[in-house]
Amino acid sequence: MVVFGKHDKPSRFHSYNFKTKMNKQDYAVSITVNATAQEVFDSINSVSKWWTKDFEGISEKLNDEFTVSFGETWIKIKIVEFVPNKKIVWDVIDCYKHWLKDKKEWKGTTISWEIATERNATQINFIHFDLVPGKECYNGCEKAWDQYIKGSLFKLLSKENGVPS
């Protein structure tokens, strides 16, 4: 069951097939962890434990909004799809990336987390839609997402501490 707000409509990425999207240019990464879907879901939503300690707002349910900051840079996100233990979709509703010519480059992009359990492991499929090669931020943001997802979030789910900024 997909949970939408009273006046919300499904995001344009609802029921998206991750494997099909992998052939496109959007930044995508997949990791497999020895954790339950519930542990993965809860950890993703605990943004300050793996992404950045500079976190304001709430990231616990549909329509929650939060802001993450990295010095002068900040990103404001709204949760637009929330399916417990299966999927989370964030829309970037505003941002300021001080080092870019287009300081609002991420505004209007969408970040999707899909969670699937197989045997005793859980796979996380992550896509940052519209973060594509050719965008000014792509190379640096690709490295940063790799660090946060393959490094910090993976460590958090491996019963270690995440390494948020």
Q: Is 165 part of any domain?
A: no
> pLDDT of 73-123, one tens digit each?
999 999 999 999 999 999 999 999 999 999 999 999 999 999 999 888 999
d(CA 25, CA 145): 15
Q: Is 112 part of any domain?
A: yes
Domain count for the chain, please give it: 1
pLDDT of residue 8: 38
> pLDDT of 115-159, one tens digit each?
999 888 999 999 999 999 999 999 999 999 999 999 999 999 998
Q: Is 100 part of any domain?
A: yes
pTM: 0.85
- Alpha helix locations (H) across 24-153? 37-45, 138-146
pLDDT of residue 118: 87
Q: Is 157 exposed, middle or buried (0-12, 13-18, 19+ CB in 10 A)?
A: buried
Other C-beta atoms lying within 10 Å of the C-beta of residue 32: 13
Mean pLDDT of 42-46: 97
Asked whether the beta carbons of 132 and 26 are under 8 A apart, the reply is yes
Instruction: Return the exposure string of 37-51: e unless at least 16 CB atoms fall within 10 Å of the residue's CB, then b.
Output: bebbbbbbbbbebbb
Q: Distance of CA 100 to CAs 65, 104, 124, Å?
A: 24, 8, 29
Radius of gyration of the chain (CA): 15
Higher-pLDDT residue of 23 and 146 is 146
Which domain CATH number covers 91?
A: 3.30.530.20
Q: Is 103 part of any domain?
A: yes
* Domain boundaries, position 130: 21-157
Q: Is 88 part of any domain?
A: yes
Q: Is 125 part of any domain?
A: yes
Q: Is 7 part of any domain?
A: no
pLDDT of residue 165: 85
Q: What is the DSSP letter of 133?
A: B
Q: Distance of CA 27 to CAs 110, 132, 158, Å?
A: 11, 6, 24
